[in-house]
Chains A and B, each alone.
Chain A
Amino acid sequence: NAGVMQNPRHLVRRRGQEARLRCSPMKGHSHVYWYRQLPEEGLKFMVYLQKENIIDESGMPKERFSAEFPKEGPSILRIQQVVRGDSAAYFCASSLSGQGQTQYFGPGTRLLVL
C-alpha cells in the first residue's frame, strides 16, 4: 500500500522562475494538505484541498502561490516568480475523509532558490 508520494524530491530554481510541486495521496484518500517547513522552524499549514475544491487556504501567501487538486491526477502546489525566501521543504499530507482523520505525510520536496 503505497504511501503519500511527492515529486520531485529536490528542486532547484533561479529567482523569477516557476516551481511546480506534485503530491499523490495515499490510495483511497481524497483530502490533501500542504505544509511548509522553513529552515529551523516547525511545519506551517498552507492549504487544504479536496478533489476539485479548495477548502481552506488561510496559510497560503496572497501572491504567487496557488494549489489545485483536480479530479484526475496529483495535487499541484505552484509557486510563480520564486524568491530566495521560498527555499524550504514542502510537505504534502493526505487523509481518508478529513473530519479529524489522521494525516499521513509524504517525503517532501526540498526547494532551493538560487
Chain B
Amino acid sequence: EDKVVQSPLSLVVHEGDTVTLNCSYEVTNFRSLLWYKQEKKAPTFLFMLTSSGIEKKSGRLSSILDKKELFSILNITATQTGDSAIYLCAVNFGNEKLTFGTGTRLTIIP
C-alpha cells in the first residue's frame, strides 16, 4: 500500500531558528512529491519535486528529494511567526491521486 510518513508530528521553535521537516514514502510507483502549507483554510502549494538531488528554493524555503532513499526534506531558514502552519507532504504515485502524510504542525514563538 502506498504510504507517506511525516516527522516530526509537531515542532515548536523560536523566531529566527532554522527548521527541517521530513517526509518519507513507501512506493509502488512514483511520479512526484509535493509540499503544501495549510493554515486555516486552503492548502497552499509550495513545491513539486520529481528529480533527485535538485534543490527547489523560494525565499527562505527550500526542498530536496532523494528518490533512492525515498524521502524529501523541507527547510525553512530564519523562521517568522507567519510560518506557523501545518506542512503537508503528498506523493503522486502515478495515478493522479495524491497520498498525503498527516502533516507537521509548526509553531513559531516570537
Contact = CB atoms under 8 A, between A and B. Distances in A.
A43 B44 CA distance: 14
Interface in B85-100: 88, 90, 92, 95-100
Interface in B48-93: 48, 50, 88, 90, 92
Central interface residue in B32, B34, B44, B96, by most chain A CB within 10 Å: B96
Interface residues of A, number: 27
A102 B45 contact: yes
A105 B36 contact: yes
B43 interface: yes
B45 A45 contact: no
Contacts of B36: 105
Contacts of A25: none
Interface of B: 31-32, 34, 36, 41-45, 48, 50, 88, 90, 92, 95-103
Interface of A: 3-4, 31, 33, 35, 41-45, 48, 55-56, 58-59, 91, 93, 98-100, 102-108
